[in-house]
Amino acid sequence: MLLQNKNAVIYGAGGSLGGAVSRALAKAGAKVFLTGHNIEPVKKLADEIIAGGGSADASEVDALNEKAVNDYINNLVSKTGTIDISFNAIGLKDTQGSPLVDMSLADFVRPVTNAMETQFLTATAAGRVMMKQGSGVILSLTATPGGIGYANVGGFGPACCAIESFSRDLASELGPHGIRVVNIRSAGSPDSQVFKEAIDHGGEKAKEFIKKMEEDTMLKKLPLMEDIANVAVFLASDMARKITGVTVDVTCGTTSALNYKVSPIAFVKK
């Protein structure tokens, strides 16, 4: 298996995408150490992974609390000896759906502040351990607004840009120590809990919006959670040992060409 005997820490494992990545890492052989602000969904996920033959441990950790993160990492290293993979997928408490000129400062700044605080705390905590090991992979996650201008996403867009910039800078500092730092950019997964809740509350309007998002991609579809999880497994493995300091785009082409208008019908031979 690609990640046999690797120790992976996942922050925000209780979320749908954090859970999907956790399952994929465990399936690939990693021992997954799942954390979340709310222990119940994290414990449920750990039980599921263990029942499926994987190795998992659940802990309640506030990834926005410096002491909580450092105490957890130090305690974990004392037990496992190494941390090979760190992935942060916690929610940023962003507010979307209205123009920037109509937003409050608090709503705009919140996701940017949360993003930088949690990424800095978790990534540097892992980085200090990995520097001693001389190896490790630190992963993060953003979305389409990290690569293009995107209306009505509030502070989430700038937060994505900040995460991607931080990932590049950290990679440049940790690279000489044998540590890779890579960001994954998604376009949003229609099978994620966020999208399901949007459909439940928004009905047909939400479905129309998701359809518009699909039409804005080159492939005319959105990446599923499985697609993002598979990329995470690849990037965490030695198969990606020469990849660092970049954002891997898994947006089905959204970032490269919003409102891409070429129809596949135009290329069908008559």
169: CATH: 3.40.50.720
Residue 267 within a domain: no
List 7's β-bridge partners, or say none.
Answer: 31
Strands (E), 122-243: 136-143, 179-186
Residue 154 within a domain: yes
What is the pLDDT, as a whole number, of residue 135? 98
In which domain, by residue range, is 72 found? 7-188+223-251
For the ranges 20-24, 156-160, 254-258, which has the lowest average pLDDT? 254-258
Domain count for the chain, please give it.
1
Residue 108 within a domain: yes
Query: Kind and range of the H or E element at 161?
Result: helix 156-174
Residue 111 within a domain: yes
260-268: average pLDDT: 56
Residue 244 within a domain: yes
Please answer whether residues 162 and 112 qualify as being in contact, where contact means their C-beta atoms are separated by less than 8 angstroms: yes
196-233 burial by CB neighbour count: b if 16+ within 10 A, else e?
A: eebeeeeeeebeeebeebbebbeeeebbebebbbbbbb
Residue 27 within a domain: yes
What's the angle, vertex CA 8, arms to CA 162 and CA 181, rounded to 5?
35
What is the pLDDT, as a whole number, of residue 270? 47
Amino acid present at 215? E
- Express each pLDDT in 112-144 by its tens digit: 999 999 999 999 999 999 999 999 999 999 999
Residue 205 within a domain: no
Q: Is the pLDDT of residue 213 over 90?
A: no
Amino acid present at 43? K
